[in-house]
């Protein structure tokens, strides 16, 4: 979502770091381009005006302009101010009560039902035992969708017969949670295509009766500034505690995500970053600001890796690397583990300075290059994977035929793997564990 904005901001700010001292005129020029980039990204114009004014006021200070690394200091100021824009409100996610009740509200099509399931998975990984409540009696498809998602996650779903009121459904769900030892209840409410008084009255009634510890508005970030309008309307009708921004992985301009907290005063608590059940991230404004500015987001990358990588396997791999016993079998396993962490493009965006390669890498994945590598390795025998040095010309031709690739593809993979082994041998010689970034 932020690709175009990131490219523009990185280009503008790199001009400041590519010179010695920075003058006030240089800052003025850069801020004009930053203002234009933010407006083109659909960021609210008042937010842009305040942001640019604050950055400029700080950047033209004598202690900044007279320093030898003024460009870097300006980037630091931009990062801090961008973090402030994104980080309005209290982002603490509170689960109080027995059971704790989380109410999800929003317009139809915003992603409430999938967000409810993702939130259940997130809570489960924290050691809690959630129950999902299908409190949308108007759309049977929404109920069935939640039941299907709940089964996939092994999370129970409460549903009631047709004709039951929304409030009765929610109360029955809470009673079921108490009787079954579930300590969190996530209520997926009904939505509408547009904001209307019936919807607001229904949600107000639920909030007053259930007294949820969290009332989260689910907003589709793809709808642009309309998302800000929706947040303001719901915030006036219901005591919201925060926002869930969905479809952050889409190709909209991203301005709503940057504007919504600053305009509405509501904190973003979670980001929906994809379709998978694990594609929900607690929101960290400083990390998102870092991604937008090309500084990366290593903390989120490491957290995702810890969730994905088996600790025992990681330690075994570390030992193999130290002994220089890393094989093509291990290489394929690591690729499969990496894919489970999410799209390659989004992973590269989290690495400092690698954001510019994200699109290229994702296109390579979509073009089937990783699948081709997997097919080549899977076409080898166990002995060949363990020791590629036995791969004679006839064996390589057999592998090419079996994997549907060319002999050149096979030769290229073996050569690249050999170079990787050399590099790891050099790292291992120093006894460094840093070669395995996600080890203990």
Whether 97 has a pLDDT exceeding 60, the answer reads yes
The confidence score (pLDDT) of residue 218 equals 92
Band of pLDDT at residue 432, cut at 50, 70 and 90: very low
Residue percentage of the chain with pLDDT more than 70: 76
The confidence score (pLDDT) of residue 435 equals 38
Interval 326-345: pLDDT, tens: 788 777 777 776 666 666 55
Q: Beta-carbon neighbour count of residue 4 at 10 Å?
A: 14
Whether 78 has a pLDDT exceeding 90, the answer reads no
Whether 248 has a pLDDT exceeding 60, the answer reads yes
Mean pLDDT for the stretch of residues 25-52: 86
CA of 312: how far to CAs of 266, 438, 439, in Å?
A: 41, 12, 10
* Cα–Cα distance, 185 to 329 (Å, whole number): 43
The confidence score (pLDDT) of residue 397 equals 94
Interval 256-268: pLDDT, tens: 777 788 888 888 8
133 close to 188: Cβ distance less than 8 angstroms:
yes
In the chain, residues under CATH classification 1.20.120.140 are 3-86
pTM (2 d.p.) = 0.67
Pick the CATH number of 302-429 from 3.40.30.10, 1.10.260.30, 1.10.10.10, 3.50.50.60: 1.10.260.30
Whether 439 has a pLDDT exceeding 60, the answer reads no
Whether 438 has a pLDDT exceeding 50, the answer reads no
Pick the CATH number of 3-86 from 1.20.120.140, 3.30.70.3420, 1.10.10.10, 3.30.70.580: 1.20.120.140
The confidence score (pLDDT) of residue 80 equals 87
Q: Which residue has the higher pLDDT, 104 or 262?
A: 104
In the chain, residues under CATH classification 3.40.50.300 are 100-283
The confidence score (pLDDT) of residue 359 equals 56
Band of pLDDT at residue 123, cut at 50, 70 and 90: very high
In the chain, residues under CATH classification 1.10.260.30 are 302-429
Peptide bond into 99 cis (omega under 30): yes
| DSSP state for residue 1 in the 8-state scheme | -
User: To which CATH superfamily is domain 100-283 assigned?
Assistant: P-loop containing nucleotide triphosphate hydrolases (3.40.50.300)
Interval 183-236: pLDDT, tens: 999 999 888 777 778 878 888 888 999 999 999 999 887 777 777 888 888 888
User: What SS3 state is found at 420?
Assistant: helix
Whether 437 has a pLDDT exceeding 50, the answer reads no
Mean pLDDT for the stretch of residues 42-60: 86
């Amino acid at each position: 979502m932020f690709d175009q904005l990131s490219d523009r901001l990185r280009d503008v700010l790199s001009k400041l770091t590519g010179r010695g001292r920075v003058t006030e005129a240089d800052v003025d020029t850069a801020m004009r381009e930053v203002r234009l980039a933010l407006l083109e990204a659909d960021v609210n114009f008042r937010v842009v005006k305040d942001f640019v004014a604050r950055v400029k006021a700080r950047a033209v200070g004598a202690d900044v302009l007279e320093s030898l690394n003024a460009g870097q200091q300006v980037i630091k100021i931009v990062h801090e101010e961008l973090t402030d824009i994104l980080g309005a409100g209290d982002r603490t996610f509170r689960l109080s009560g027995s059971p704790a009740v989380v109410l999800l509200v929003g317009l139809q099509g915003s992603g409430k039902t999938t967000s409810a399931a993702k939130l259940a998975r997130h809570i489960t990984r924290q050691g809690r035992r959630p129950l999902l409540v299908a409190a949308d009696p108007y759309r049977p498809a929404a109920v069935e969708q939640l039941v299907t998602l709940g089964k996939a996650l092994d999370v129970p779903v409460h549903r009631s017969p047709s004709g039951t009121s929304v409030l009765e459904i929610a109360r029955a769900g809470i009673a079921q949670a108490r009787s079954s030892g579930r300590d969190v209840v996530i209520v997926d409410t009904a939505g509408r295509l547009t904001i209307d008084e019936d919807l607001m009255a229904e949600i107000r009634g639920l909030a007053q009766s259930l007294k949820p510890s969290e009332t989260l508005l689910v907003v589709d970030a793809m709808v642009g500034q309309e998302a800000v309008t929706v947040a303001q309307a719901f915030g006036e009708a219901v005591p919201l505690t925060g926002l869930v921004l969905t479809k952050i992985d889409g190709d909209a301009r991203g301005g709503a995500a940057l504007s919504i907290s600053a305009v509405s005063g509501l904190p973003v608590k979670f980001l929906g970053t994809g379709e998978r059940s694990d594609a929900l991230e607690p929101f960290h404004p400083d990390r998102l600001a870092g991604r937008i500015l090309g500084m990366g987001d290593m903390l989120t990358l490491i957290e995702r890796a810890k969730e994905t990588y088996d600790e025992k396997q990681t330690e075994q791999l570390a030992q193999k690397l130290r002994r220089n016993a890393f094989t093509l079998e291990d290489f394929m396993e690591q690729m499969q583990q990496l894919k489970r962490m999410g799209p390659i493009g989004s992973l590269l965006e989290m690495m400092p300075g690698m954001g510019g390669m994200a699109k290229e890498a994702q296109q390579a994945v979509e073009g089937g290059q990783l699948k081709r590598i997997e097919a080549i390795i899977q076409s080898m025998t166990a002995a060949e994977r363990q020791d590629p040095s036995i791969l004679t010309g006839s064996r390589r031709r057999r592998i090419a035929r079996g994997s549907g690739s060319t002999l050149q593809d096979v030769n290229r993979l073996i050569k690249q793997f050999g170079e990787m082994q050399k590099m790891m041998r050099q790292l291992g010689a120093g006894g460094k564990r840093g070669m395995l970034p996600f080890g203990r």
